[in-house]
Structure 1
Amino acid sequence: MGLELVLVFDLDGVIRHFDSLELDAQIEAELGLPAGTLWELVMESGDLDRAVVGGFNRRQWEDRIEAELRAGTRNGADVAASFQRWRDNVGKADPEMTQLIEELPEVPVFLFTNGTDRVPEELVRLGIDGLFAGVLNSYNYGLRKPDPAAYLAAHREIQAVLGLRVPREQVFFTDDKVKNVQAALDFGWRAEVFQDAARYRQQLDAVTADSARN
């Protein structure tokens, strides 16, 4: 395949998965908090949106969540000890996607994630840091998907890492969020919504064949 294609993967929901509902429920029960409290603090406070564009580093974001938990806890539980399990959770790498990437011929592979400053460390802990030529991280850009400027920043980093001019149509991107895929298409990348490893293989075969014809 050579440099006919550059492959770019979203991280969460594609390469990595979190099964945190059980852990969240355990922590909430220990702290005497209503079910769903952690989800609301993590996903609905707006702090995550700020953390992935450099407004906070990962530790600061986690500290803000812990402070909110402490403020809501009335049963004398050890908030720090309970929440440490949440801090330590880096999810699990998808074995099928990991194998797929390992089996690819010589082709540049990148991650493009709305992530925090801790993503490189998390990839090491997951054992997948060696799979990628580079990590295109919103934290470093101050911009997140689906902002068009984030795709421009990511494309420039791809070219810098490879030391080559890369036409936009040579990049094939997959993400589990439709809005991020549409933004990639609008930018000029090829892109497909991620479903599972088997479907991705089919999508990649089709894109590879089309690239070879052109």
Structure 2
Amino acid sequence: MARLEAVVFDIGNVLIEWNPERFYDRVVGEPRRRAFFKAVAIHAMNERVDLGAVWEDEVSALAREHPDWAEEINHWHGRWIEMASPEIPRSVRLLRALRAKGVPVFALSNFGRETFAEALRHYPFLSEFDRAFVSGHLRQAKPEPAIYETLERESGVAPGALLFTDDRPENIEAAAARGWHTHLFEGPDAFADRLVAEGLLTAGEAA
């Protein structure tokens, strides 16, 4: 079996929490949030941003389309960082421990161009990857095969030498289909155990 050479991190719900529902429940209350998400295709808009559409333009257009929900929609731009928070401290420590060991570390994330830049301003550790493969820049998104192939080609690491963690099963399955080693992320403790089991970190380094 090929020796693992590099670790690939998803970002949302792996390194930083991503929970728009929690934000809206806090700001407008759960009943109005449920009505909002039912009436407005907010996640479809976000997927367009993740594929490279201009964040502010997409939010503004959707707010014009749904004037009764304009305030809630505009939060997706003005208060977006509150939805993408807080960081997950142990995951960040694992990222840094791998780098300190000389293990190449990549990001593979569905993220808009401008939203990723906004996240970088708040979370400087996002600049510490050997390379971040971001859907908005590539105009490719998980779980489509093309973005995985781009990482393989441009990193120069063979599929069987990659370990990928992501919180979404469909993204994990797409990577596994290409021969990547995978870990469904359900919390940093189990991922730390996996890194130790694979010999990438010692227990002390993964603490």
Q: Is residue 24–residue 38 contact of structure 1 (8 Å, CA) maintained in 2? A: no
Given the alignment of the two structures, is residue 191 of structure 1 paired with residue 182 of structure 2, yes or no? yes
CA shift in 2, pair 1:127/1:37, >3 Å: farther
Q: Is contact 1:62-1:87 (8 Å) kept?
A: no
Residue 94 of structure 1 deviates from its aligned partner by 0.6
Q: Give 1:52's match in structure 2, choosing from 50, 57, 72.
A: 50
Does the 8 Å CA contact 1:5/1:208 hold for their aligned counterparts?
A: no
Q: Is 1:169 paired with 2:160?
A: yes
Instruction: Using the aligned pairs only, state the percent identity.
Output: 21
**Which of the pair has more CA radius of gyration?**
1
Q: Distance in 1 between matches of 2:172 and 2:19?
A: 24
Q: CA deviation at 1:182?
A: 0.9
In the alignment, what sits opposite 2:86?
92
2:97 equivalent to 1:103:
yes
For these two proteins, the number of residue pairs brought into alignment is: 191
| SS class of match (1:111) | strand
Q: Secondary structure at the match of 2:8?
A: strand
Alignment of 1:60-75 (within 5 A): 60-68=57-65, 71-72=67-68
> 2 CA distance for matches of 1:65 and 1:43?
8
Cα deviation 1:40-78 (Å, max 9, x = unaligned) = 43644x222222112x12222222343345x115xxxx9
Unaligned runs of 5+ residues in structure 2 are 201-207
Structure 1 runs not aligned, ≥5 long? 160-165, 210-214
Query: Which stretches of structure 1, 4 residues or longer, exceed 4 Å deviation after superposition?
Result: none
User: Does the CA contact (< 8 Å) of 1:8 and 1:111 recur in 2?
Assistant: yes
- TM-score normalised to the size of structure 1? 0.76
Matches within 5 A, 1:134-145: 134-145=131-142
TM superposition score normalised by structure 2: 0.78
